[in-house]
Amino acid sequence: MATTTVSPPAATTNDHGNHAHHRAWPGRPYPLGATWDGRGVNFAIYSENATRVELCLFDTVDSTTESRRVDLPEQTDQVWHVYLPDCRPGQIYGYRFHGPYEPAKGHRFNPNKIVLDPYSKEIARGVRWADELFGYKVGDPQADLSFDERDNAASAALASVIDSAFTWGDDKFPLTPLHETVIYELHVKGFTKRHPDIPEELRGTYGGIGCEASIRHLQSLGITAVELLPVHHHVDERHLVERGLCNYWGYNTLAFLAPDVRYKSADFGNTVHQFKTMVRNLHAAGIEVILDVVYNHTAEGNQLGPTLSFRGIDNAAYYRLSPESPRHYMDFTGCGNTFHMQNPRVLQLIMDSLRYWVTEMHVDGFRFDLASTLARVLHSVDKLGAFFDIIHQDPILSQVKLIAEPWDLGDGGYQVGNFPMGWSEWNGKYRDCVRRFWKGDGGVIDEFATRLCGSSDLYGWNNRRPHASVNFVTCHDGFSLRDLVSYDHKHNEANGEENRDGSDNNMSWNCGAEGPTNDTNINALRARKQRNFLATVLLSQGCPMILAGDEIGHTQNGNNNAYCQDNEISWLNWELSDDQKSLLKFVQDILAFWHEQPTLQRRRFFHDRATRGTSVKDIQWFNAAGAEMADSEWKVGFARSLGWLLRGEHIDVSDQGEALSGDTLLILFNADHAVEVGFVLPQCEGSDAWRLKFDTFDPRDTTPSNHAFGSAYKLRPCSVAILLAVKNTDPKLPA
């Protein structure tokens, strides 16, 4: 179809006759986006294949059409730009792009459609679903090959020009080393919505996360970093909205520089300032902010999706199209499209976004959703791709925390252990192995031991450190911890997809009853297993991650895919039972222990050889008889118990050159649900006895007790015991 042009609307001013507001100067191609310089606003936007670009200015968010259109006559290096000397912060705007509408060739320009600036920093109005948002005639027999001439100005997403000035005061990045980091994955709304100590007007908002009650809870746990589920502005899919649901998690991004307006409080300034205030408050408490970011795809979906931004700006430039059929998209994400990382301008957008969130918003790092997609060159994943090269040489981004979700849905997309130095990864193999071990599966103790030690098989081969492994058992995607021990099967009926969505491979066990039960024995076992999982994560070498709510036994009623549940299914309930309070106390205590123990925060892998200055190994493994594990014992299918000795002497040297040492620990695991193990306690050179610190079978029993070498410790079914080597036995302590 030939290029189409649109005449200006009848109303051509927003200045009530003041024609000085019509002034438009050439402007500059950089920076991209709408930039207020104190005198006027520069607008710049990239499009390689457009033939004409119009800036559309709106009076209010409820305007059904723009009050003025401004042609961008200047184009420099494929960037269209204009400077409006009379424009001010608060101006609402969008764009119209002219060019060919030829889906078979990958072009989908439609100037009847207002599109959102990819560099928007404040969203003035979100998408209002209507057929007019689609570039083609919805329901037409030719589907997306047709051309829709209806105007979408009343329903399109719009941006607002902002003044980014903010008083940071003495804000400082906490710069917590990764080996000393404890990550807490949370949803802004889900964490705060039902918290009784958060002011009502702040519940569900950035302000709620940054308020005293939230920070007090995080500090009581010993959390050093919150990892926020996506807070980039996103779109709720139409089919969800029409069913009364939404994309609660937010993995459907539309604007990579704009904080999601849904978490804004109505009474406390613009969204950007509210986000910055949250970060400033968390930093003041020593807590870092990590963002879960989605750069692998956008909210526009496949060829039948709406025209909201990138598709209408330059479809062929922003998306990876099928070489055989450019009408269709390459899809490595399962979301309909894949961002075109091979285009330097698209790569620039992502890098500009990342730098903006660090330099302007003061975040401390990123977790990259489906990160394997970002590394795909043609079809294969290339860990040395341009994306990684640019980040590694960037003086800003190379210094923040970089965490990959190391898989996508394409062939060869499972890349756990294959990301380059400087990156940490969600360790999916750790999650699966630990779940299998505590489920009671046999034949996994050899891998379990490797995972406890930081997964050197995955990360040691290319000189990475244990903190490359982000150790977790649960995350937002899947069962909560309580549901992991309460359900054999997913129960996603509330999602409206007849329970077909969500994973069927949960490696869970309901302990004898599906869902809630009054059976005291089953409930006691479930509580113990929750403690075991949390203890294992915090005792493992690497970077521990806890899902918000797991410390208080949050349940989603068996829903393992609550992505669309913006309600009590997902919101944390802070009215705690006695059992939940007991679990919270246990997590607080064991996290405090973790912070006290350099032995659990090693920067280097164990070597299974003599530590510096001693004649003993830095790590040893024992069977229940108190003897070191023989090679043949690691593959025994019935083995479900294991003893792990970690030497605390001469662990490392601090940044100040001081010798680091910690306690020598003996950690005993028994994954059998019925059998008690009389675990013979091994000798420990330089010590006199073992002192019990924790036993997950009954965490309420905190009476200190010493245990002699060679004695048998009663390691009860499905439990973990932690003992410290002590040099001076207190005769008053019971043996």
- Please list the active-site residues: 369, 405
Question: What's the CA gap between 187 and 358, in Å, rounded?
Answer: 20
Question: What's the CA gap between 685 and 610, in Å, rounded?
Answer: 12
3-state helix, strand, coil in the chain (%, to 5): 25, 20, 55
Question: What's the CA gap between 455 and 431, in Å, rounded?
Answer: 12
Question: What's the CA gap between 128 and 119, in Å, rounded?
Answer: 20
Closest among 394, 368, 367, 359 to 173, alpha carbons compared:
359
Q: Can you read off the two tokens belonging to residue 364? A: 């401390």
CA-CA-CA-CA dihedral for 423, 227, 591, 617, to nearest 10: -10
Residue 414 CA: distances (Å) to CA of 543, 561, 679: 20, 20, 39
Question: What's the CA gap between 677 and 662, in Å, rounded?
Answer: 28
Question: Positive or negative CA dihedral for 301, 305, 306, 311?
Answer: positive
Q: Can you read off the two tokens belonging to residue 19? A: 């024609």
Q: Can you read off the two tokens belonging to residue 59? A: 């009076």
Question: What's the CA gap between 95 and 111, in Å, rounded?
Answer: 9
Closest among 151, 410, 146, 154 to 303, alpha carbons compared:
146
Beta strands in 375-428 (DSSP E): 401-404, 424-426
- What lies within 8 Å, CB to CB, of 109 at 6+ separation is 3, 4, 49, 50, 51, 97, 98, 99, 100, 101, 312, 314, 315
Q: Can you read off the two tokens belonging to residue 236? A: 């709720």
Question: What's the CA gap between 330 and 324, in Å, rounded?
Answer: 10
**Amino acid, single-letter form, for residue 473:** V
Residue 507 CA: distances (Å) to CA of 60, 229, 414, 479: 52, 24, 19, 10
Question: What's the CA gap between 504 and 488, in Å, rounded?
Answer: 10
Strands 365-368 and 401-404: parallel
**Residue 399 class from Cβ within 10 Å (0-12 exposed, 13-18 middle, 19+ buried)?**
middle
Cβ–Cβ under 8 Å, residues 591 and 221: yes
Residue 604: strand, helix, or coil = coil
Closest among 413, 348, 407, 347 to 379, alpha carbons compared:
413
Q: Identify the residue whose tokens are 């439609």.
A: 110
How many helices (H) and strands (E) in the chain? 15, 31
Cβ–Cβ under 8 Å, residues 298 and 309: yes
